[in-house]
């Protein structure tokens, strides 16, 4: 990983950054020197804590609320970000929700909600971010997909569809904007230590670990390290790629 300061003078917008992977990604980009917009939907207190952590470490950050599934909210998010920082160099589309159920029991509203936030939200944010990126002739867009989007998972047809859709969006957009020196890549985390996986029973955790060649669950830092790299000059010739951070799960 390049050293601190490699992203000085860059401005990053990280959606869904009040907790989990998004929080760690925001801190990673700030450590690399970027000024960070910590986007959140409802968790204002948690987002404020992330900003405080970044500032305490010598970084620059601001929390801005927006529901990425709503076009007008996304437009307002980027207007505020540009008013505050004057540019947008990096977008990490991390915001996401789950509404798991077997397909025959899955409500249409739950299917729509996951697609609206996880896929349409990325489209809306990318569209808004591209306006300044195209003027700058520079940009880095990282879409948070999932290994579920690569190989599916029972009970997550809506989530898998959204994450697979992000892969298609990534590859198509990379071709559209590459001539302007804007890269677009997707990161596909595997099983990461989160609030959800912390509730796994011993038997379930053991069975899961047996499927992972590296023998452990991933951490948010594992994911954030790759996201940070993709935003640095060292990754300037990487675009349209889907990179799994899964300990070898999908091998």
DSSP states of 29-90 as a string? HHHTT-EEEEEESS-HHHHHHHHHHHHHTT--EEEEE--TTSHHHHHHHHHHHHHHHS---E
Question: Helices 121-136 and 157-177: crossing angle, nearest 10°?
Answer: 20
Closest by CA position to 241, among listed 158, 145, 134: 145
- Coil, strand, or helix at residue 181? coil
User: Catalytic pick from 85, 159, 191, 229?
Assistant: 159
Question: Which strand ranges, in their side-by-side order, compose the sheet holding 182-189?
Answer: 61-65, 35-40, 11-14, 90-93, 139-144, 182-189, 242-245
Are the beta carbons of 29 and 231 closer than 8 angstroms?
A: yes
**How far apart are alpha carbons 37 and 21 in whole angstroms?**
15
DSSP 184-233: EEEEEE-SB-STTGGG--HHHHHHHHTT-TTSS-B-HHHHHHHHHHHTSG
Active site residue 237: no
Helix (H, G, I), strand (E, B) or coil at 162: helix
Active site positions, annotated: 159
């Amino acid at each position: 990983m390049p050293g601190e300061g490699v992203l000085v003078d860059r401005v990053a917008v990280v959606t869904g950054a009040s907790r989990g992977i998004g929080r760690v990604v925001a801190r990673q980009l700030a450590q690399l020197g970027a000024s960070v917009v910590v986007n959140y939907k409802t968790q204002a207190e948690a987002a404020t804590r992330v900003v405080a952590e970044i500032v305490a470490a010598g970084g620059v950050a601001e929390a801005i609320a927006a529901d990425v599934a709503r076009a007008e909210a996304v437009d307002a998010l980027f207007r505020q970000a540009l008013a505050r920082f004057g540019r947008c160099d990096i977008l990490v589309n991390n915001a996401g929700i789950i509404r798991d159920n077997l397909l025959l029991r899955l409500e249409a509203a739950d299917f729509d909600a996951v697609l609206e936030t996880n896929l349409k939200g990325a489209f809306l944010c990318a569209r808004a971010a591209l306006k300044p990126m195209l003027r700058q002739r520079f940009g880095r867009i990282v879409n948070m997909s999932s290994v579920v989007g690569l190989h599916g998972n029972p009970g997550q047809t809506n989530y898998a569809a959204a994450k697979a859709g992000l892969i298609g969006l990534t590859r198509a957009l990379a071709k559209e904007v590459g001539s302007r020196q804007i890269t677009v890549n997707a990161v596909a985390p595997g099983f990461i230590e989160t609030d959800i996986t912390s509730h796994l029973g011993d038997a379930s955790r053991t069975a899961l670990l047996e499927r992972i060649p590296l023998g452990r669950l991933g951490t948010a830092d594992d994911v954030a390290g790759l996201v940070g790299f993709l935003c640095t000059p060292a990754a300037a010739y990487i675009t349209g790629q889907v990179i799994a951070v899964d300990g070898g799960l999908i091998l």
